[in-house]
């Protein structure tokens, strides 16, 4: 079992839809949870950064962490064609532990 599981998609939605992206993980030591957006052939761009369980909202994006279920989510409201990209979840423990990434979910928002 991989430490971080993420459905690679592809996921295709109409413009304006609410998008739900998810990751599950097996390492209970993970405390820091991130979502990155990566456009084709570019570096990942940090979207959301959360610590421990709970919700965090930033504009059209909401990140949720449920440590009891080892499950994290990213919601995108009012999705736009410019949101079309690969979304990577990443997590790490405390101290000098590196980021562990999911495979990424490829999202297409159709105008």
Contact pick of 25, 35, 44, 107 for other proteins (by CB under 8 A): 44
Report the half-sphere exposure of 65 (CA within 13 A, side-chain side): 21
Among residues 47, 51, 55, which one has the least CA distance to residue 32?
Answer: 51
Site string for other proteins, 50-89 (x = CB under 8 A): --------------------------------------x-
Nearer to other proteins (CB atom), residue 42 or residue 77: 42
Gap between the Cα atoms of 43 and 106, Å rounded: 15
Residues that bind other proteins (CB under 8 A): 4, 6, 8, 32, 34, 36, 41-46, 49, 88, 90, 92, 94-104
């Amino acid at each position: 079992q991989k430490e971080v599981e993420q459905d690679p998609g592809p996921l295709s939605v109409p413009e304006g839809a609410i998008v739900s992206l998810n990751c599950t993980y097996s390492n209970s030591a993970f405390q820091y949870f991130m979502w990155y957006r990566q456009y084709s052939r570019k570096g990942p761009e940090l979207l959301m950064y959360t610590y421990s369980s709970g919700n965090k909202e930033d504009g059209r994006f909401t990140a949720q962490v449920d440590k009891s279920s080892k499950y994290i989510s990213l919601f995108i409201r009012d999705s736009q064609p410019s949101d079309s990209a690969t979304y990577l979840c990443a997590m790490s423990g405390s101290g000098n532990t590196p980021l562990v990434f999911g495979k990424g979910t490829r999202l297409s928002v159709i105008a």
